[in-house]
Structure 1
């Protein structure tokens, strides 16, 4: 099933390393199809389709798309061999679960919308192409005024997290060494820091 010009629902639901590792134990697809599928389609239409059209399908690498209930459970667990947690999951804020609901009929994320993490492979920027490639991607997104809701910038050549919601907030976050969201350091990617209100919210 296509959810955008370039991406399928299967790719969006099965791209994570955690799913690949535990595929036989994870049901990766949405349950609330009536609401979640349109949210994923909107993310593609407003954010991912323009990105892929510009940078090319062969350079686009999706690293984390939709998070099902099963995937959420496995991401929160530790690998039995290494003792390392499979991944990070914050369903109440990160929008990876889109419009899925818990057993009480409440949305996991009240922001609704949908989110994904991706990188553009081989993106060069100036002399230091490895460390600056993600910076260039974010700069392009801002230049094009894509209507994102939240954008998480992890720095260097790492994937970015981006979401779309019906009322996009255009919030950009960087992260402290301890993994706490903050607006500090936004000047590096050409985005002035608005205020300290959100830092206080997260205890930075």
Structure 2
């Protein structure tokens, strides 16, 4: 199966390249960051259709801050990433042929200018199928993933002693944060 060009539209408002070329590290280095696996392209398309398009429709323009991360890009990022867990590698495989992230799926981090991340998270949690939402604070990008299990897990990550500490959040608690 042929893989799409990165300039091709995954959905109406997003190209595959939007997800591959959005990170600060990629903009600085321009390292090759093109998916190899057809399933990764399918997961990017699904993420755009089920998460990013609904967010775009509800809030307007999105600022993507981190999307697909292949091995070359991942090697250049030295902190606060977990490729075996975070789903940014999609369905890409390591040198031994195993999935980099056994969860499968795809993730993107984004913000909506002028809108608290908790409000965006609540909207997505109430209206979309998702696997995980990682909430880092109202003024930080939101991490949202889709996957085969779509576990609907919401996690707040707080900094304690210079480390990110995860805390599961119930939907009602997220709603209380929004007010």
TM over 0.5: yes
Question: Deviations for 1:12-36, whole angstroms, at most 9, x for unmatched residues?
Answer: 111111111111xx1111122x111
Shift of 1:142: 2.5
- The equivalent of 1:157 in structure 2 is 139
Shift of 1:188: 4.5
- The equivalent of 1:30 in structure 2 is 35
Q: How does 1:93-112 map to 2 (within 5 A)?
A: 93-112=85-104
TM-score, structure 1 length as denominator? 0.76
1:13 aligns with 2:20: yes
* Of 33, 48, 55, the match for 1:44: 48
Structure 2 gaps of 5+ residues are 1-7
Shift of 1:155: 0.9
Give the strand-richer structure, 1 or 2: 2
Distance in 1 between residues matched to 2:169 and 2:15, nearest whole Å: 36
TM-score, structure 2 length as denominator? 0.86
* Of 121, 141, 145, the match for 2:124: 141
Shift of 1:187: 5.8
Structure with greater Cα Rg: 1
Question: Deviations for 1:117-154, whole angstroms, at most 9, x for unmatched residues?
Answer: 0011122xxxxxxxxx112111211232x111000000
- The equivalent of 1:181 in structure 2 is 166
- The equivalent of 1:54 in structure 2 is 58
Give me the CA root mean square deviation.
Answer: 1.7
Q: Size of the alignment, in residue pairs? A: 166
Contact 2:154/2:170 (<8 A) preserved: no
Structure 1 gaps of 5+ residues are 77-86, 124-132, 192-204
- The equivalent of 1:196 in structure 2 is none
